[in-house]
Amino acid sequence: MDVTKDTLSTPVKVSPQAKAAATDSAARTIIASEVTAREKKTARLRALRLEQEAIQEKAEPAAGSKKPPAARKR
């Protein structure tokens, strides 16, 4: 392959507006994906918490049937 002016030409300069648009687009894509991931995680954790609370509510009535400890007399 011969090295010529055509093969070593400098890349076309991109306008500042095009650079800004590309950066804005990339940033918005990243932010949107982070928001989606955060919402998924929040929903998953909420479901686990509700499940845990339901289990605890079922366990409390059985534990609540015990007599409270007698108070000490001084």
pLDDT category, 61, cuts 50, 70, 90? low
Percent of the chain having pLDDT more than 90? 57
Across residues 49-68, what is the average pLDDT? 78
Task: Please give the pLDDT value at position 60.
Answer: 75
Under the banding of pLDDT at 50, 70 and 90, the label for residue 30 is very high
- The amino acid that residue 31 corresponds to is I
Q: Could you tell me what percent of the chain has a pLDDT over 70?
A: 76
Helix, strand or coil for residue 74?
A: coil
